[in-house]
Amino acid sequence: MKNYLIILIVFSSSLIAQSLFPSDLGKLNNRQLDQLKAQLIENDPDVTMNQIVTQDRIPQVQLKSSAPKNTKKVYSYGYDFFTKDINFYDNAPTPNDYILGPGDEISLTLWGETNLKENFIIDKNGSIFYKNIGFINISDYTLFEAENILKEELSKLYSTINSSTTYLRLEINRIKSINVYFSGLVNSPGIHLIHPFSDIIQAIIQSGGIKGIGSLRNIQIIRNGKLAHDIDLYPFFNQGNDKFKKIKLYDNDTIYVPPVGKRTWIKGEVLVPGYYELKKDESLYDLIKYSYGLTAFASSEFIIKELIPLEERSSDDLSYKTFVVANEQSKEIFLNNMGTVTIPKIPGVFSSVQVLGRVKAPGNYPYKNNSLKDILDLAGGFNDPDFRKSIIDEEILILRKNEKKIYADELTTSYENANNFQLSNGDKIFVYENVDYDNQFTITVNGEVANPGFYSFEQGMTVASAIAKAGGMNILADKNGITLTEQFKSQGTDGDILVENIPAINVNLNHILSPNSKINILSKQNSVKIIGNVYNPGLITYSKNTTIKDYIRLAGGYKPESKKNKVYVKRTNGEIKVVSLFRGSFIRIKSGDLIVVPKKEKDSDFDITGFVSDLTSVLANIAAILIIVDNQN
């Protein structure tokens, strides 16, 4: 047991690196324990604690949020109407029935035999002061009434007013705001200065709008402690009914917004899905009407998930009920608060055939009252003379479902007989391509030839014959400097054909080309390039009898740590010549060659941290196994 304690101490010190805690050992289930025991009985040295645990991971309990995964906010009908930013003082005209009062600024104009214009502000007593007349009370009168009062008073000074040779006009320059109180579920409750010409919607906008839980269908105007008006805004939002505009607001009115009484979410195939507020006497029919009706794809049956009111529930586990109703029943269905109405989309009816392959417009087509020829003509290509040449029209394949067997029936016909071939629902029509028609394989010859460019490919064509087609090499061409790139096709992991352009190595004139090959003839070079671990890498003038050792010496010689037995030469055609201690003197250097002198790699330093980590991991696994074996005994 003492040994076990020692191992346990070592094991505990390494638990963080292993992400395995002592509490996890007690959570191993019977299957894991049996598996570990079986491995120990078989003396399998490769089994580790982590292998056993990860094969059947100890379950972890996580507390997950009950919020829906889709966090997109559901639209609530009508509330965005109050998010406007309008200067009502610049846009509201003066109504004919506006009552003048203290704070209003008026403009008095006389013209005719007497001409003047004066501005007055109605004082707190409702009067203006006119020189030589005194105070004139015009408060609590309309503009028309105040104008007649002023005509009567000013005719005492200007007698021509009564003889219609002097005219008088009264206008409002600036008006006083009214104090309106807002209470209930508004965004900014309290007293607000409101434009006196405002209707109920304009007043709510000026005060900051209604909260998302406030009613839009029971807005109350309270005047002198009594309910003066009860306003429903849905007729205006949904039908443009603006009767509310006739309701005038007065100073010290209170606008109260109560909470929503009943709200239902309608989603699916309606024109405007969202949350809607319903009155007690309104049905599913009204809800659909407020959402602007059903779409053309709406089903005739609706799904309703209804929340049972708290006072009617027998248990919270039974707080919802779901049922289906038909569209014609909608006037008889009265919904509870916070219910959900889903208008499904009509299911698709599969009545088509599919055309695949060499046609201009592959896809699905209706099969009823159509022959195979009709469908092929719709898919396009058979009546185009040039396109038709790329189609194998003698053998059109049709796969047809057969309920008596797993595999489909294979039927074949020609386009010529397609008019007599009747299709079935779900047929798949395969039109095959004439692959020989569009094959226009070419090769490319570039570089130092007489006529570089594209040339047609022929079976068995060699590098030499391709260069001959291009007019042969010119005087600048390096006969040893022929490079070749060819297409290499392979199958990818997903089954697709991968096409790669890969340079060929050690190309000679007898090399047989493949389609789309690219030949490049390099120009002659009078130098040799040396790179790698030498003192002066670069270009060195080519000399016919100069050896590799001479070129390395001309480049300054080997630097320390050079791999002298790994030096290699790369020819212009891609061929590699490895220089060994015995072959170095026999390799002939050609102009344009590349000499590479590799450098020895430094031995990596001993990683003490990694060594300790690996050792700790091994000790931890051993300790875990010993503890479990001891527990089993």
Predicted confidence (pLDDT) per residue in 396-418, tens digit = 999 998 888 888 899 999 999 99
Give the pLDDT of residue 531: 94
Decide the pairing of beta strands 253-257 and 178-184: parallel
Give the pLDDT of residue 30: 47
Q: Helices 608-632 and 2-13 meet at what angle, rounded to 10? A: 130
Count Cα neighbours of 230 within 13 Å in the Cβ-side half-sphere: 5
Q: Is the pLDDT of residue 490 over 60?
A: yes
Q: What are the C-alpha distances in Å from 263 to residues 162, 236, 478, 570?
A: 64, 18, 87, 81
In which band, very low, low, confident or very high, does the pLDDT at 491 lie, cut at 50, 70 and 90?
Answer: confident
Q: Tell me which residue has tokens 């670069």.
A: 538
In which band, very low, low, confident or very high, does the pLDDT at 11 lie, cut at 50, 70 and 90?
Answer: very low
Q: What are the C-alpha distances in Å from 220 to residues 232, 234, 259, 359, 574?
A: 9, 14, 12, 68, 91
H or E element in which residue 16 lies: helix 15-18
Give the pLDDT of residue 7: 46
Give the pLDDT of residue 14: 45
Q: What share of the chain is helix, strand, coil (3-state, %, to 5)?
A: 25, 30, 45
E strands along 160-273, which residues?
A: 166-174, 178-184, 190-194, 219-223, 226-231, 253-257, 263-268
In which band, very low, low, confident or very high, does the pLDDT at 627 lie, cut at 50, 70 and 90?
Answer: confident
The DSSP symbol for 154 reads H
Amino acid present at 79: Y
List the structure tokens of 166.
Answer: 């002097």
| Section 277-294 average pLDDT | 95
Predicted confidence (pLDDT) per residue in 604-619, tens digit = 555 666 667 777 877 8
Amino acid present at 208: G
| Cα-Cα end-to-end distance for the chain | 13
Q: Helices 30-41 and 608-632 meet at what angle, rounded to 10? A: 100
Give the pLDDT of residue 67: 37
Three-state SS for 363? strand
Distance (Å, rounded) from C-alpha 510 to C-alpha 533?
37
CA dihedral sign, ordered 457, 460, 465, 466:
positive
Give the pLDDT of residue 507: 85
Predicted confidence (pLDDT) per residue in 552-589, tens digit = 899 999 999 998 888 999 988 888 888 876 665 678 88
Cross-strand pairs, 78: none
Give the pLDDT of residue 633: 61
More confident residue, 94 or 477: 477
If one counts every other C-beta atom within 10 angstroms of the C-beta of residue 231, the result is: 19
Three-state SS for 532? strand
Give the pLDDT of residue 104: 87
Q: What are the C-alpha distances in Å from 59 to residues 24, 28, 47, 370?
A: 10, 10, 21, 59
Distance (Å, rounded) from C-alpha 599 to C-alpha 441?
45
Rounded to the nearest 10 degrees, how much is the dihedral formed by the CA atoms of 362, 367, 369, 372? 50
Amino acid present at 7: I
Residues 6+ apart with CB under 8 A from 35: 52, 55, 56
| Section 468-477 average pLDDT | 91
More confident residue, 103 or 415: 415
List the structure tokens of 466.
Answer: 């391709």
Amino acid present at 338: M
Q: Tell me which residue has tokens 């068995």.
A: 460
Helices (H), 244-369: 284-290
Strand order in the sheet with 301-307: 274-277, 263-268, 339-343, 301-307, 320-326
If one counts every other C-beta atom within 10 angstroms of the C-beta of residue 250, the result is: 14
Distance (Å, rounded) from C-alpha 159 to C-alpha 198?
39
More confident residue, 527 or 47: 527
Residues 6+ apart with CB under 8 A from 30: none
List the structure tokens of 422.
Answer: 């009747």
Residues 6+ apart with CB under 8 A from 589: 528, 542, 546, 547, 548, 551, 569, 595
List the structure tokens of 332.
Answer: 């008889």
Give the pLDDT of residue 119: 93
How many Å separate Cα 40 from the centre of its chain?
A: 53
Q: Is the pLDDT of residue 54 over 70?
A: no
Q: Is the pLDDT of residue 21 over 50?
A: no
Residues 6+ apart with CB under 8 A from 252: 178, 179, 180, 181
Q: Is the pLDDT of residue 219 over 80?
A: yes
Q: 573: closest CA among 461, 447, 459?
A: 447
Cross-strand pairs, 430: 356, 397
Q: 443: closest CA among 478, 467, 476, 477?
A: 467
Give the pLDDT of residue 86: 63
Q: 130: closest CA among 139, 120, 138, 140?
A: 120
List the structure tokens of 182.
Answer: 């807002």
In which band, very low, low, confident or very high, does the pLDDT at 63 lie, cut at 50, 70 and 90?
Answer: very low
Give the pLDDT of residue 42: 45
- Is the distance from CB of 502 to CB of 427 less than 8 angstroms? no
| Section 191-198 average pLDDT | 88
Burial 134-153 (b: 16+ CB within 10 A, else e): eebebbebebeebbeebbee
- DSSP assignments along 199-225, one per residue: -HHHHHHHHT-B-TTB-SS-EEEEETT
Distance (Å, rounded) from C-alpha 259 to C-alpha 338?
13
Q: Is the pLDDT of residue 236 over 50?
A: yes
Share of the chain above pLDDT 70, in %: 84
| Section 202-221 average pLDDT | 93
Average pLDDT score, the chain: 83
Give the pLDDT of residue 369: 80
Q: Is the pLDDT of residue 51 over 60?
A: no
Q: 324: closest CA among 344, 308, 301?
A: 301
Lowest model confidence (mean pLDDT) among 12-21, 144-153, 446-455:
12-21
380: left (phi over 0), alpha (psi -120 to 50) or beta: left
Q: Is the pLDDT of residue 232 over 50?
A: yes
The DSSP symbol for 313 reads -
| Section 442-467 average pLDDT | 92
Predicted confidence (pLDDT) per residue in 326-358, tens digit = 999 999 999 999 999 999 999 877 788 999 999
Three-state SS for 197? coil
Distance (Å, rounded) from C-alpha 128 to C-alpha 357?
92
Q: Is the pLDDT of residue 31 over 70?
A: no
The DSSP symbol for 136 reads E
Q: Is the pLDDT of residue 196 over 90?
A: no
Give the pLDDT of residue 266: 96
Decide the pairing of beta strands 594-597 and 527-532: parallel
Q: What are the C-alpha distances in Å from 385 to residues 83, 382, 388?
A: 63, 7, 5
Angle among Cα 458, 460, 465 to the nearest 5 degrees reads 75
Give the pLDDT of residue 182: 96
In which band, very low, low, confident or very high, does the pLDDT at 303 lie, cut at 50, 70 and 90?
Answer: very high
